[in-house]
Amino acid sequence: MTVARVIVDVPSRDTDRPFDYAIPERLKDWVEVGSRVAVPFGPRKLQGIVTALAEDADADVDLAKLKPLEDVLDALPPLSAELVELGEWMSRRWLCPLTVALQAMLPAALKGRSEKYVSPAAGVQWTDGEIADSGGLLLALGKGKPLKLDALLRQYPEQGPTLKRWIRQGRLEEKQQVEDKSAGKSVLTVFPGPPEKLLQAAENMPARASKQRELLRFLAVRGAEPVAVARLTEEAAVALSTVRALEEKGLVEIRPVTEDRDPYADRDFPASSPMTLTPKQAAALAPIQAAIDAREAGAFLLHGVTGSGKTEVYLQAIQRCLEQGREAIVLVPEISLTPQMVERFKSRFGSKVAVLHSRLSNGERYDEWRKIREGRAQVAVGARSAIFAPFASIGLIVIDEEHETSYKQEESPKYHARDVSIERARQHGAAVVLGSATPSLETYEAAKHARGGRRSGLGDIGYIAMPERVANRPLPGVSIVDMREELKMGNRAMFSRPLADAIRDRLEKQEQMVLLLNRRGYATFVMCRSCGYTAACPHCEISLTYHRGSANLRCHYCGYSEAEPKTCPSCESPHIRFFGTGTQKVEEALAAAFPGIRVIRMDVDTTTEKGSHERWLTEFRERRADVLLGTQMVAKGLDFPYVTLVGVLAADAALRLPDFRAAERTFQLLTQVAGRAGRHELPGEVIIQAYEPDHEAITSVQGHDYDGFVERALLLRNQLGYPPYGRLICVTFSHESVPMLLSVGERFASAARETASGMGVGRSFDGAGGDALEVLGPVSSPIARLKDRYRFQCMVKYRGEVDASQVVSRALAGMADAVKKGGVQVSVDVDPQMML
């Protein structure tokens, strides 16, 4: 191979194609597809990823004129050929530059240009043959100090394959200094020689060195395992000087070893063994195991009510996958990635589990990532981006709570982990299990109607139902309180009488409660009661949110803040009021209404600090509080035996948001939070307060009627041509000038319409079926201005076999120059999840 095709890391459409570089002789054995390289690019030096190797340059290019690669940045390529291919698929699927997709797969620690070091792994033995064949490489490494990778590359260019093999086998380690507050603890470690040698040395030791002799005997009995100096001095009850004396005599070796920062290392996880499955669980597991055995790609929706025992099904499916020598990825929403959740996997699979979530430091994340890549972990549990875990042979991908919006990334690449999982499974011949009590309408439709031969974005999905809780525990009783009636009866408090009674009752019985404040779209905004003025961000046209702690108003989009006004800035009336209800206000109201009540408040303000989320949950579990009060955060996956009451304040707050998924989201959230009650011996009760108690999204929760809710919702979606029947691509333009945006938006809309009709696609969404594409807009975006730029959007709505991504990218390509010259920013969201 003489030519490397490189995608340089500049996230723009101009550079979004491979550039060819010559591979210099000294790097021949080091460059692979997926290697991270340094390349000259005009006057600059850039980083890039090798996406292909070729024997020769393109026909019209003179090989001698190609610039050479400057460097390979890692000994092992951080991406595999499979992940590079996945990146290419993502960039087509979500219309993003390829480098953006590839970079999303790398741990942050690998994005910079920090120096790489190679050193032997602790306690590894080398044969004389290996030492001789390594051409001096092992001797150099044997000195104990980690060596710089680029020095090794220069000195031992022909040892590339050998060095890489040893790293893959875990005999050599490739590391980099990651700047971290909790940075890699380096532990001084003793490497004893062979026991026979130690015993012999003990015999020959002069009598006055009795301490050293004892230590030698101790080490000989202990075996050849390396041991931390601190631990050895304690176990053998000797001074450090004694150990050092043996080192001077060449009997033991002492050198620093960097420990992996396993964030769960100091926790004990009691071992668990597989449970005897209930008949429903066994029936659910069978087709999944069959798919794993068949090694053919296949996807399943595991539709199980809260408490139906889905996790045990996941665990046993993973076990089957591991028995086959294959690997498994488990995705859970970031917010449910609690120690409690992790424990269920760690206690079953021990150190085979690597955990990836955003609260890890860069160094911790890098360590977990290396565990996966080097085959020291076979199960990756993590949030969205864990879908890119660098496994070589995946047998199973589980996505728990598959309906969660956090699986869609809102910045570029705007990928959905569910779609990526299906593509990765296709490449690996793996099974995908999508688990939820309230599946997204997209997944549900794909599963229910798979046999009808209708195409969906997900392809065919098998449907598995677990409609009952384990051990016949009943689903909690749900009652709905009409808050308008409460007001009519003269109750102006935050808590209705039934909820207040229930809270008092639980306090007496010393049981626990979860209170959810559905705050999405229910901002704590400031409004003047005299003139109607509301405080908005001067840069974003978003209502400012009132923060009591700091007594200021803040924009949650750009961070702008201003002091709390005492009088209306517009009419100077003193009747300026803070509307809406924040968790702080509820906390105060609880304290006032129920003296002595112990409340833990969990929201973005109280959980930003690392580890705080977990601390609150532990405190609640230990029953040091009566109430867990919070936003969406308290709804997910928590499992507390003493919770017998769940209360929802303002259940319908988000129902009227301008988003076609508003009802679906509300229903999912309420069902989720209701599932927190009565999961164990004590029965549970749910009280929902609402101003629109007759809305289907709320009444369906009462009957635990997912199927009914969804069938009606799907009917409506079908009529309106919304997903899953039609699909959407949202193209947003932003600029300081509105006329500029209008003209660019119009141009895009007509170009897209023309392109589509050129492809023979009709515009009409009437009637059933048939290909259709229409372009809505340009209209002002729901967030009309952000950081001083106005925003307009066009919505491309289509159905059938239309290649709408092609339509959009061709239309954009046709106007690329104008957009660039004018300084217009374009952002494309394929299958948008957030309509706000």
Alpha-carbon gap, residue 782 to 336, rounded angstroms? 30
Which of Zn ion, ligand ADP, none does 742 bind, CB closer than 5 to 8 A by kind? none
Least gap, CB of 279 to ligand ADP (angstroms): 10
Nearer to ligand ADP, 364 or 401 (CB): 401
Nearer to ligand ADP, 308 or 793 (CB): 308
Q: Pattern 532-561, binding to Zn ion, x per CB under 5 A?
A: -x---x-xx--------------x-xx-x-
Which of ligand ADP, Zn ion, none does 318 bind, CB closer than 5 to 8 A by kind? none
Least gap, CB of 400 to ligand ADP (angstroms): 7
Q: How many residues does the chain have?
A: 836
- The dihedrals phi and psi of 528, each to the nearest 5 degrees, come to -90, 125
The one-letter amino acid code at 319 reads Q
Least gap, CB of 276 to ligand ADP (angstroms): 6
* Binders in 298-317 for Zn ion, by CB under 5 A: none
Which of ligand ADP, Zn ion, none does 571 bind, CB closer than 5 to 8 A by kind? Zn ion
Least gap, CB of 640 to ligand ADP (angstroms): 11
Least gap, CB of 314 to ligand ADP (angstroms): 8
Nearer to Zn ion, 375 or 565 (CB): 565
432 contacts Zn ion (rule: CB under 5 A): no
Q: Is 794 annotated as a binding residue?
A: no
Least gap, CB of 461 to ligand ADP (angstroms): 19
- 481 touches 498 (CB < 8 A): yes
Which of Zn ion, ligand ADP, none does 579 bind, CB closer than 5 to 8 A by kind? none
Q: Is 321 annotated as a binding residue?
A: no
Which of ligand ADP, Zn ion, none does 281 bind, CB closer than 5 to 8 A by kind? ligand ADP
Q: Please state, in angstroms and as integers, the Cα–Cα distance from residue 130 to each residue in 135, 223, 358, following that order.
A: 9, 24, 41
Alpha-carbon gap, residue 326 to 619, rounded angstroms? 38
Q: Pattern 568-587, binding to Zn ion, x per CB under 5 A?
A: x-xx-x--------------
Region label for 276, one of left (φ > 0), alpha (ψ between -120 and 50) or beta (otherwise): beta
Nearer to ligand ADP, 502 or 635 (CB): 635
Nearer to ligand ADP, 284 or 710 (CB): 284
Which of Zn ion, ligand ADP, none does 528 bind, CB closer than 5 to 8 A by kind? Zn ion
Nearer to ligand ADP, 126 or 642 (CB): 642
Least gap, CB of 137 to ligand ADP (angstroms): 50
Alpha-carbon gap, residue 112 to 257, rounded angstroms? 24
Q: Is 730 annotated as a binding residue?
A: no
Q: Please state, in angstroms and as integers, the Cα–Cα distance from residue 813 to each residue in 61, 305, 499, 701, following that order.
A: 26, 47, 58, 47
Nearer to ligand ADP, 309 or 693 (CB): 309
Alpha helices in 261-407 (DSSP H): 279-294, 310-323, 339-349, 362-373
Least gap, CB of 305 to ligand ADP (angstroms): 7
- The dihedrals phi and psi of 508, each to the nearest 5 degrees, come to -65, -45
Which of ligand ADP, Zn ion, none does 555 bind, CB closer than 5 to 8 A by kind? Zn ion
* Sign of the C-alpha dihedral computed for residues 15, 18, 20 and 21 taken in this order: positive
DSSP string of 541-584, one letter each residue: --B-EEETTTTEEE-TTT--EEEPPSS-TTT--S-EEE-S--HH
The one-letter amino acid code at 706 reads Y
Determine the longest span between alpha carbons in the chain, in angstroms.
100
Nearer to Zn ion, 302 or 568 (CB): 568
Q: Please state, in angstroms and as integers, the Cα–Cα distance from residue 498 to each residue in 254, 403, 682, following that order.
A: 69, 31, 20
Contacts of 322 (CB under 8 A, 6+ apart): 328, 349, 352, 378, 379
Contacts of 490 (CB under 8 A, 6+ apart): none
Binding interface with ligand ADP (CB under 6 A): 275-278, 281, 304, 306-312, 470, 639
Burial category of 203 from C-beta neighbours within 10 Å (exposed 0-12, middle 13-18, buried 19 and up): exposed
Which residues are annotated binding-site positions? Answer: 528, 531, 537, 540, 555, 558, 568, 571
Residues making contact with Zn ion (CB under 5 A): 528, 530-531, 533, 537, 539-540, 555, 557-558, 560, 568, 570-571, 573
Which residues are annotated binding-site positions for Zn(2+)? Answer: 528, 531, 537, 540, 555, 558, 568, 571
